[in-house]
Amino acid sequence: MGTYQEKLSILSEMIGFARVDHSLKRSEYEFLLKVARNLGVPKDTLDGLLKEKSPKVRLKTQAERIVQFHRLILLMNIDHEQHKKEINTLYNIGLKMGLPPAAISQVLEVMHRYPDNIVPPDVLINIFKAYYN
């Protein structure tokens, strides 16, 4: 995984997305904390990002962008609630990442077929592969 600055950018983007509904639920914070640990970012740094976001760094590879998109889907569904604003924001984030619009739409559609709306990684990868072949 990329540089430390990329990791902070990933977390900042996730925090911003979690706050689309103007709140940060405990379940969302705990998920962010798990992602931060996985990325090797300490809790105090994550807490600092809650106050001041990190500069945006574009993820270099398509694979990194797909992984980040998947993290955002997991974050959206962690509280078992989905708001139209969250779905629209997630769609737009995917577009800004350079992901194919049809693939984004398909992922957002099929997630409802899985328990807790968690799209298995292999299903997600296959959807995106279909649009890159």
Structure tokens, 55: 């500069």
**Separation between Cα atoms, residue 20 and residue 6, nearest integer Å:** 21
pTM for the structure as a whole: 0.91
Residue 82 neighbours by CB under 8 Å, 6+ apart:
76, 117
Express each pLDDT in 122-132 by its tens digit: 999 999 999 88
Q: How confident is the model at residue 133 (pLDDT cuts 50, 70, 90)?
A: low
